[in-house]
Structure 1
């Protein structure tokens, strides 16, 4: 039982073990929030403050201290969201009358340009991993802009090779023993059906044949879960192994530091936008919640696209002007 005299740590612990578990958040979000709550709210300068004495100034001090301790802006923003959820529940349950975080500005995350590769660099990267088991899922990520969890979470039931489409209906999360497929994609807009070309359809048909051969060799050790991309025993691929293969190839090619699987998504988005594709279309392909999300992340691509359009307009106008002067 908690009341206004209870320490924030006790109220947060109750929220973590009851309200959070009962919420409709994705399991990966629950795991993240639980970890951040244990480490940064149930422990620290806010932990022992009675709920009735908690003030906006306490929260601001907590934010400043986190920054001094080296907590990244994105992690601090998550911690703030967790604290706000804890206090929202406290208000709902009558423990306190108001949520003091509402009077504190949410920590900001500085906008950083997303690392992306030029199409020819992506082609080099794909060539470098072509002998790997991870080549085909990496290729699929590169040509569709799908998230790595979406690619590795694909089941054969999600693909229609006759129509040439792939349905994003879930995502693979975790790693090692915690690896699992969540039945829902990241957001409602993440659920989408994407067209794939004939070449990719042929490669997936070859993958089916290869997987059937692996199933035969594995006998009773085969794990029949229906995943498209698997180990030789039918288990889903650990994203860490695919990332390692990509990073090793990127390092050998001298590509920018930080090149990873998400770089392929950024590269696909950038290529689509700079080619003149409408931001709403790119947003739908990527599964963003709104076109503004796409524009905010890939502002550099929009700038390049605008330059290309204006350069073409300038060329057209001056060409007409030159013709009229003849």
Structure 2
């Protein structure tokens, strides 16, 4: 028995069942060039097809243009970035996506038709990206008169990690086109890239960590450095801390935000990296003492600054109360390492040092995961797999020593007499 036909009002489009059993809905939406175009969406049920069309019509009525498969890859990426990704990504991530599209995807694939993009196109593009000198591709050699401009190419190619990142951005954009029924499949998913080797970090050893803490005592940011090493907080989490987040009497800190520099707002407090990153941690006694000293120092700085003080409630701020720029902290940190005669490491390696030292002391992986604010314990286990492997080897060697033959061991039972 055929499904009864339902009438739809003007502007709601049409919905009907195809011969293959699927439902098709069609209506007119706004395009990027300001005209209106008829689009079609599909679903296994009438409701699914209707819901898809209703969403497209609602976006069109709000003035959001629709990018179709007959547009170029560059046009579609611009549409996806400004109308879709912007509502789903953190601002810092959106900025990185925009740079990736502007520098790599738009120049490499922008002129191709979205509907005609193939896996071979994507593979060729990525291979070219791996082997092309970036000075030449972006015209930097001509401006600075070096590299290919003087006939001596520096071969400054992208790292495998960056190439993988470019590929992931393209996959994310095309996946949305598949969900919107603009493409039958995501051709970028058919291209496999070699997983880049993880960056091998060299955390501070126990001796170096002691030297680090000793040298930090004479630095204005002593409390920040000590908190970073003893708790593993991220740079943005440290700079986003406010005094209201600390309970120095009970010895706890609540991590609610991360200070980041954004393209539109400058230094801006943002939500933590993940939901799991919003957490409450216990403060070591050494950090409580240094934070109290830091609070007294900040009070004196407030009195010295007088009317020039900007009250933001931040734990770690400039001598006039303004937020500390993450880039400035990085430069200051490197200068501190030089003065302390410590080898240069990244600020983020203090976080790795925390986890490594805790693992070496036998602290459970679940406790470390909660302290670091990882979303899943698999992240913690994966990042510090090499440390766990070394600890396993030490444990196995310990068993080996216990099982090795030792004639002088008094605990060995006497050899049984042979009865003839």
On whether the aligned pair clears a TM of 0.5, the verdict is yes
2:143 pairs with 1:79:
no
Aligned mate of 2:202, from 103, 115, 124: 115
Distance change (3 Å), C-alpha of 1:175 and 1:249: farther
2:244 pairs with 1:181:
no
| Structure 1 residue 180 displacement after superposition | 1.7
Compare CA radii of gyration and give the structure with the larger one.
Answer: 2
| Structure 1 residue 239 displacement after superposition | 2.1
| Structure 1 residue 262 displacement after superposition | 1.1
| Structure 1 residue 11 displacement after superposition | 0.6
Are the equivalent residues in 1 in contact too, given 2:232–2:351 (CA < 8 A)?
yes
Give a deviation string over 1:298-320, Cα, whole Å, max 9, x none. 12210222133233334444599
| Residue 53 (structure 2) aligns with | none
2:333 pairs with 1:269:
no
Distance change (3 Å), C-alpha of 1:310 and 1:295: same
Give a deviation string over 1:91-111, Cα, whole Å, max 9, x none. 233332222112122551213
Give a deviation string over 1:210-258, Cα, whole Å, max 9, x none. 222222222332222111001111111122232223222334555445x
| Residue 65 (structure 1) aligns with | 128
| Structure 1 residue 175 displacement after superposition | 7.9
Cα distance between partner residues in 2 of 1:245 and 1:231: 12
For residues 129-168 of structure 1, what are the structure 2 equivalents within 5 Å?
Answer: 129-168=216-255
Are the equivalent residues in 2 in contact too, given 1:113–1:298 (CA < 8 A)?
no
Aligned mate of 1:18, from 78, 83, 101: 83
Are the equivalent residues in 2 in contact too, given 1:272–1:282 (CA < 8 A)?
yes
| Residue 310 (structure 2) aligns with | 223
Cα distance between partner residues in 2 of 1:128 and 1:200: 15
SS at match of 2:317: coil
Q: Point out the structure with the larger strand share.
A: 2
Greater relative contact order (CA < 8 Å, ≥ 6 in sequence): 1
SS at match of 1:223: coil
| Structure 1 residue 209 displacement after superposition | 2.1
Give a deviation string over 1:112-160, Cα, whole Å, max 9, x none. 3222110211222233343322222111000011111111111111111
Superposition RMSD on alpha carbons, in Å? 2.3
SS at match of 1:86: helix
| Residue 125 (structure 1) aligns with | 212
2:142 pairs with 1:56:
no
2:127 pairs with 1:41:
no
Gaps of 5+ in 1: none
Distance change (3 Å), C-alpha of 1:234 and 1:137: same
| Residue 31 (structure 1) aligns with | 95
Distance change (3 Å), C-alpha of 1:63 and 1:214: same
Are the equivalent residues in 2 in contact too, given 1:125–1:249 (CA < 8 A)?
no
Are the equivalent residues in 2 in contact too, given 1:114–1:298 (CA < 8 A)?
no
Give a deviation string over 1:283-305, Cα, whole Å, max 9, x none. 22111122221222112210222
Alignment size in residue pairs: 322
**TM-score, scaled relative to structure 1:** 0.90
Are the equivalent residues in 2 in contact too, given 1:149–1:171 (CA < 8 A)?
yes
Are the equivalent residues in 1 in contact too, given 2:92–2:262 (CA < 8 A)?
no
Q: Point out the structure with the larger helix share.
A: 1
Are the equivalent residues in 2 in contact too, given 1:189–1:287 (CA < 8 A)?
yes
SS at match of 1:214: helix
Aligned mate of 1:9, from 64, 68, 74: 74
| Residue 137 (structure 2) aligns with | none
Are the equivalent residues in 1 in contact too, given 2:69–2:183 (CA < 8 A)?
yes
